[in-house]
Structures are given as C-alpha cells and as structure tokens.
Structure 1
Amino acid sequence: MDCPPFDMFFYGTLMRGQRNHAYCHGALRARNATVRGSLYDLPEGYPALVVLEEDVLAVGTANPIRDASEARFRTRPDGIPALEQPTVSGELYTFDDAGERLRALDRLEGFVPGDPTSPYERVLIPAHAEDGTLTFAWSYVVRHPTGRHLPGGHWPA
C-alpha cells in the first residue's frame, strides 16, 4: 500500500549526531524546526517534550498508514497557532514509509497506542520549520515530566 509522506518532529536522541539517529535513515527531507512546548532533561539521559493540550490534533493509533494520512489532511478550525514562548527546538523529518517507520519508532519510544501507562505518547502537533513553513508533525510527548526543565528548549543542554 502506498503511504503519503508524513512529518515527524524530533528533539532528542533521534536528531543528527545523537545515538538513535539511525532510525532516521532514508528520510526524504530533514530541516530544523520549532514547536510550542517545554523540554525536560530526564535522569535516564534523554529528553521529554510537554506540549499544550490545545496543540494536540490527534493521538497515534495502531494503524500507521492511517496516521500518516491523518497528518496530511488534518486542519484546525483556528489555523496553526502563532509560535509563542516557550518553544522547543529540534528537527523536522519527512518520511514515506509509515508502516515500518512508525512501528519502529513507537517501539523505541515505548509508545503502545491506547495504553495510558506508555511513557510517551505519539501526537500530531503544529511545527514551524526554519524556512517559515508551517506543518503538522507527529512527535513523542510525555504527560508528566520528571527531571530538569530546559528553559531554552534545546537538548542536550
């Protein structure tokens, strides 16, 4: 089955130069981006993103092909919100292999669709690319972070 291109926003170990970047092999495009949210440096040695509930457009499901399509056709009645503080910096990747890619990333992040005990949740949020493009991207967020708040929104600090 053909999969539409979809975007992922990464802010930690999946970024260029970090230990899990190999999961990004085969990306169609990579660029710097920013999202509205707060970043925490967890004691385990990786970061956690917290976003505003109003920015969550969808939650990931067990159907990665549908999730990829959802991102392409999703709209917000009020449009994409202005980029306000606080913000988190990261990288925006475009992929075209949702079936394999999202399953592998979900395993890496410990996200089990529908399981409230999963440490991370995959959500669709607005992302602002450095070239001014606004898009909806999937990202992994936590509900209740622990660790040290990174007020500058960059990891590693």
Structure 2
Amino acid sequence: MTPTYETRLPFFVYGTLRPGEPNHDVHLRGNVTTEVPARLAGALLYEGPGYPYLVEEPEGGPVRGELIAAHPAAYERLLAGLDVLEHYAPGDPRNLYERVEREVTLLDGTAARAWVYVAAPSVAARLRASGAVIGGGDWASFRARR
C-alpha cells in the first residue's frame, strides 16, 4: 500500500517516541488518545546513534513498542512532524526511514494495522552487514542496561 496522508492509521513506536523516552513528550504528549503495548513480528532492532533502527527480517522479532492513536484534530500535524523526525519524505533516496503499513499485535492477541518507520533500504543493508542487533527487540530495556 502506498502511504498517504488520508490513511489515518495509528503508529507503532519502538524507540525514542515510547513513553519515558526523549521524543515522547516533544511529539506525542497532548496529541494522542491511546498508547497501548504492542509487538511487531518479522523485524529486528539495530543500534543507531542514540536511537534504534527497525529492520524487517522474516524470522526476526518480536520488536516491542506501543501502538499510539492520534487525536483526530492533531493527526495531520503529528504525521507530518513524525515524518520530519524520522527523516522520511515519500520517494526521497536520502531517507533514513520509510513509513510503511504493517500489522502489529496487542498483548491480548488483537491485530491492528499501523504506520511503522522502518530503516530505508540503504540503511537496512548497511545494518545487516555490520550493525549491532538489540537483543530482545526492546529499546527501553536496552537503554536501561546501558
């Protein structure tokens, strides 16, 4: 599916946008209606320069995070702000991340579609070749151990 601003999906956040992380309050506080724990199968987290990268790997995961739903009045502004934060612009070869629609699973087993920022292809290739995987797929636990 081609990402469009008309598709009002929730977001799966797994790094610095999670509660207690530095970008949560800056971008999400006051702009969301719900935040619930969720997991994404088929992916690995890699260490980045102060933030993680999610790389899709069929046998990887799960990656732990939260599914967040934006306030309807804040949705367009939040989506645009997250695209800037994640260095994503549709079709730009310099992207660090790509925004893709994926299925995540809530802790009760319910499936939901969400926007997920995944490492752009060139970044993912570099990480697969020489990156450091974050064991357990949980950025919060990784940061707590450091």
Q: What is the TM-score of this pair, normalised by structure 2? A: 0.77
Q: What corresponds to 1:18 in structure 2? A: 21
Distance in 1 (CA, whole Å) between partners of 2:134 and 2:17 is: 18
TM alignment of 1:1-157, pairs within 5 A:
6-22=9-25, 23-25=27-29, 26-36=31-41, 37-42=43-48, 44-52=49-57, 85-95=60-70, 96=72, 97-142=74-119, 143=121, 144=124, 146=127, 147-156=131-140, 157=142
Count of residue pairs brought into register by the alignment: 124
The structure-2 alpha-carbon separation of the partners of 1:48 and 1:31, relative to structure 1 and needing over 3 Å to count, comes to same
In the TM superposition, what whole-angstrom CA distance separates every residue of 1:36-74 from its partner, at most 9, and x where no partner exists? Answer: 1111111x1110001248xxxxxxxxxxxxxxxxxxxxx
**Counterpart of 1:70?**
none
Tell me, what secondary structure is at the counterpart of 2:136? Answer: coil
Give the structure with the larger helix fraction.
2
Structure 1 residues without counterparts, runs of 5 or longer: 54-83
Task: Choose 147-156 or 131-140, whichever is displaced more.
Answer: 147-156
**How many angstroms apart in 1 are the aligned matches of 2:109 and 2:62?**
15
Moved over 2 A (4+): 3-6
Shift of 1:5: 5.2
Q: State how far apart, in whole Å, the 2-side matches of 1:34 and 1:86 are.
A: 8
Q: Distance in 1 between matches of 2:77 and 2:9?
A: 13
Q: Is the CA contact 1:30–1:94 (under 8 Å) kept in the aligned structure 2?
A: yes
Structure 2: which 5+ residue stretches go unaligned?
A: 1-5
Amino acid at match of 1:87: P
Structure 2 counterpart of 1:6, which letter?
L
With a CA cutoff of 8 Å and minimum separation of 6, indicate the structure with the bigger relative contact order: 1
- The CA deviation string for residues 78-120 of structure 1, in whole angstroms up to 9 with x for no partner, is xxxxxx7521000110112331111000011110111122011
The percent identity for this pair of structures is 36
Q: SS at the partner of 2:46?
A: strand
